[in-house]
Amino acid sequence: MQFEVSQISLQGDRKNNQDRVGYIEYDYGAVLILGDGLGGRPKGELAAQTLIETVEKALQNSPMPIPDPFDFLEGALLQAHNDVMAAGREQIPPVEPGTTAVVCLIQNGSAWWAHVGDSRCYLFRHGLSMYRTQDHSYVEDLYKSGEISLSKVSTHPMRNYITRCVGMLAKEPEVDLSKEIMLTEGDIILLCSDGFWGPLDDAQIGAKLNSGRLNESVSELLFFNKLLQFFQLHLY
């Protein structure tokens, strides 16, 4: 199986970039990892980096090919939670950092993914969003319960409030797992934080990713994203 990978991370309006991405290729496939450290809390970047390192270590210690992808993904994220909590306790003074987490395992022509928080994994096929993770957020819960319409989701004052994360709380988070997805030629898997998908809808993302070379398409989406954020800043 041949594939192309593009990675881009921008600092945005934060004092430091709390996003972290990881990519590991091995004989049977690849693992993609993304963490978005929680803004407003200390050491979000430490939490996101610890997530990346924990998943990488889990892969190094796993037999190949991975015999149970679901067990691997859930176990790696729960271990990351405990590692983030431990890393926070080692700080002076101790802190309770947190991060979103999304991990995608590609192996022998199939994909599996797991996530906690509102960072997303998409699978686009011919420009269409075939699968997408469901955000663990207050606003997503409101939308699913019918309390607000889709048009209100992107402007709700609590749209950045997540209901699950890796780290921050002693209790281990519930990890959402996908089903096994058979990949076909031309499929595009996208892992992204809310800073990327927030101003864009699935159709915009899919159409652009399907329009040209992957790296160029992602760069153009980031530029379009910035323009949308600029206009939103002045409209609201």
Q: What is the mean pLDDT of residues 192-210?
A: 80
**Phi–psi pair at 152, nearest 5 degrees:** -90, -10
The reported pLDDT for the residue numbered 222 is 64
Q: What is the mean pLDDT of residues 184-213?
A: 81
The reported pLDDT for the residue numbered 107 is 94
Joined together, the tokens standing for residue 137 give 């957020």
Give residues with Cβ within 8 angstroms of 142, minimum separation 6: 148, 156
- Summarised one tens digit per residue, pLDDT across range 14-65 is 567 788 999 998 888 999 999 999 987 889 999 999 999 999 999 999 999 9
* Element housing 96 (H / E): none
* Burial category of 35 from C-beta neighbours within 10 Å (exposed 0-12, middle 13-18, buried 19 and up): buried
The reported pLDDT for the residue numbered 108 is 92
Kindly tell me if the per-residue pLDDT of 89 is higher than 70: yes
Give residues with Cβ within 8 angstroms of 19, minimum separation 6: 9, 34, 35, 36, 37, 48, 193, 195
- Summarised one tens digit per residue, pLDDT across range 130-183 is 999 999 988 877 877 777 766 666 666 667 789 999 999 999 999 999 999 999
Joined together, the tokens standing for residue 7 give 């990675």
Q: Give the residue from 30, 8, 9, 20 showing the smallest Cα distance to 167.
A: 20
Residue ranges of domains in the chain, CATH in brackets: 19-135+164-195 (3.60.40.10)
